[in-house]
Every structure is written in C-alpha cells, then in structure tokens.
C-alpha cells in the first residue's frame, strides 16, 4: 500500500484512486484531498471522519458494508484518515493541523497491538515509512520505483524494517515491559487527546481494538488460541487508562472471541479481518 510521511503524520495518496492487492484479492481505494479513504454507501447522506492506523483503514474491505464500524454507524459514510504506521500522536498532529475540516463529532481509534508502543518516546515513523508524502504521486505512476525506494531504505536505514515480530515474540515483549510505564504513557496520551477535544470543541468516539497477539497461532490446526492471562493484563491496561470524559464520552472496546481461525487474520497475520471485530461499550468490558 502506498503511504507517506509529511513530518507530522502518515497518509495515503491525496485525491487519488488506486488498487491495492495484498494477496489474490484486489481492493479499490479512493481518497479525498487530505488522503482520507472514502467509503460511501449509495443511500447514505451523512458522513463521519475516522482516524487511526492500518487496522481501521480496512485492509480486507472493498465497500462500506464490510467495515466493522458500519454495524454501529449504519447511517454514515466514512472518510478514514488512516495509514500503516500512523500512530496516536500522528493522529493528534492531524487534528491540530487540519482543524478547519473537522466535524463536531469524530471517531478516533487505538490499535492496541502497535499503538501501545507508538506512544513511547522512541517511536519515529521515519523508521517504518519509506516514502515522503511528496513522492506519493510519482510512485502511483511508477510502482516499481516504490520497490526501489523500499530496497534503498533496507540498505541505508538501520532502523527501517518490513518485518514484525511474530505473535510469540510480541507476547514476550508485552510481558517483559514495565506495566507501570505503559500505564503512564497511555494516560499521558489519552490526556493529550482529551485536551485537544476540549480545545477544538469536538466530541470523540474512542474505539480500542484488542491486539492480534493476545492469540497464539496453532498452525497445525489453523486456529488462534486465546491467552487468557495475557488478555487479562491487556484489558486491565485498557480499562484503567481509557475512562470516559466530557468530550470523549463514548468508549468502545473490541470483543475478544475464543473461537478464531488462522484465516480470520489478514494476509500479513497482523490484523484481524474487519468482519471479526465486534465492539462493546466500555462498561460491558470493564464493569461500572
């Protein structure tokens, strides 16, 4: 997928139409002049702006009915300002820099699988994004050049990588992390988001999706096995860090299923397919 960094946030090509083929299936993307993916239904008139990373962009979604948000916002079209490696603070940068286009109510998503680490001090999108945003138009015309740029980054940027840890390694990273430090950074981020909501006078529906790595992969049986102890620690952090406020009053959290198959992950094995994400209100996951 083509995406670039403009020193503030990561975005898709602007005012464009292009095809993205992660496997055998081809998906058509259309974007507005800020790089927001347009998912429109013919009978829908309202629209809602959505912000986040690759989980919410809909890697396996061709039309609005297939997107997990459609179940809750059935009357709305979506403009999804999201891209791979677009972290939580990059979302805040977008809100600050483009406040003139913001609606009074928006959706902000938090992909706990990776955003948990993108709010740490050492996070830098440059280590994961090969393109500058001004290069996007050119590589749409010449996709082969994109491969050359990625190859160059792999050679000269010691931090740049296309790979991610597998589920087991990601689980170990989480278990070995300082939980108090994670909690402190989650609170700091959510406090910043709340300040922005108050300053810009916007309401935010906040959506948290569980990490794909709460599951271990059983390749022999093509199943995903939920690690209950790990999930308890994840949900403790979620519930203690994200509490409703005046401007972020609606908080939704993805439901954890105990019965998933390996093919319920997208082809990169780092995202749940959209039709497997079901959202619950905060109190139903965390209690009153």
Pairing of strands 279-281, 250-254: antiparallel
Residue 132: domain span: 4-286
Closest CA to 62 of 29, 36, 84, 31: 29
Q: pLDDT tens digits for 135-194? A: 898 888 887 877 787 777 766 665 566 666 789 999 999 999 999 999 999 999 999 999
> What span, in angstroms and rounded, lies between the C-alpha atoms of 264 and 275?
9
pLDDT bracket for residue 259 (50, 70, 90) = confident
Rounded mean pLDDT, 75-102: 96
Pairing of strands 10-11, 4-5: antiparallel
Number of domains in the chain: 1
Q: pLDDT tens digits for 215-242? A: 999 988 899 999 999 999 999 999 999 9
Rounded mean pLDDT, 254-279: 92
> What span, in angstroms and rounded, lies between the C-alpha atoms of 5 and 143?
17
pLDDT at residue 202 is higher than 70? yes
pLDDT at residue 36 is higher than 80? yes
> What span, in angstroms and rounded, lies between the C-alpha atoms of 197 and 217?
39
């Amino acid at each position: 997928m083509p995406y670039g960094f403009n020193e503030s946030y990561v975005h898709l090509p602007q005012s464009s139409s292009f095809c993205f083929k992660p496997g055998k299936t081809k998906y058509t993307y259309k974007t507005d002049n800020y790089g927001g993916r347009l998912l429109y239904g013919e009978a829908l008139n309202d629209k809602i702006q959505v912000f986040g990373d690759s989980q919410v962009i809909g890697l396996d979604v061709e039309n609005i009915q297939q997107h997990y948000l459609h179940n809750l916002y059935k009357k709305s079209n979506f403009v999804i300002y999201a891209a791979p490696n677009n972290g939580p603070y990059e979302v805040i940068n977008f809100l600050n820099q483009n406040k003139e286009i913001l609606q009074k109510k928006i959706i902000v998503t938090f992909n706990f699988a990776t955003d948990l680490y993108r709010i740490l001090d050492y996070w830098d999108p440059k280590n994961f994004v090969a393109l500058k945003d001004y290069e996007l138009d050119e590589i749409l015309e010449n996709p082969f050049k994109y491969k050359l740029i990625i190859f160059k980054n792999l050679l000269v940027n010691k931090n740049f990588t296309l790979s991610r840890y597998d589920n087991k390694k990601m689980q170990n990273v989480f278990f070995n992390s300082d939980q108090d430090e994670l909690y402190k950074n989650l609170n700091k981020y959510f406090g910043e988001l709340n300040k922005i909501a108050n300053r810009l006078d916007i309401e935010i529906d906040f959506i948290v999706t569980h990490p794909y790595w709460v599951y271990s992969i059983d390749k022999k049986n093509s199943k995903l096995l939920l690690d209950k102890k790990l999930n308890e620690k994840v949900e403790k952090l979620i519930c203690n860090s994200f509490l409703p406020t005046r401007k972020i009053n609606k908080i939704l959290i993805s439901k954890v299923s105990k019965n998933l198959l390996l093919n319920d992950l997208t082809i990169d094995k780092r995202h749940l397919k959209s039709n497997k994400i079901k959202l619950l209100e905060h109190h139903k996951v965390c209690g009153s």
